Amino acid sequence: MGKTLKTTFDRVKSMLESKEKYRDNDQRLVVAFQWEELVRMGKTPSNMSAMEYMTMLMEGHLTASDTITRARRKCNQHHEHTRGESYNSRQKKQEEVKQVLRSIA
């Protein structure tokens, strides 16, 4: 894992361990993650304009949502206690889709 991804992974893991509400809601996790980033940069997220936020995101000053959700998936894979309620249903659905795809091939 690259240094940035490892740091992201560690922060995501910590967030998943501390608050169950982030385990089943990627949008909530991403917003909380980026909120913390903004605070660390000395910004006051509640006082920022949407344009300022989007500019920071576009210029790469904030971690991209796909990087955060990738770290969440990796964390769920390796640490059972970070999985939410929907994890098992997603895994079951994945197996069903695989079986359908195998039957088509």
For the stretch 17-53, pLDDT in tens is 999 999 999 999 999 999 999 999 999 999 999 999 9
The domain limits of the chain are 3-104
Q: Which ranges constitute the DSSP H helices of 1-105?
A: 3-18, 26-40, 50-58, 65-78, 87-104
For 58-73, the pLDDT digits (tens) are 999 999 999 999 999 9
Distance CA 91, CA 95 (A): 6
Look up the pTM and report it. Answer: 0.79
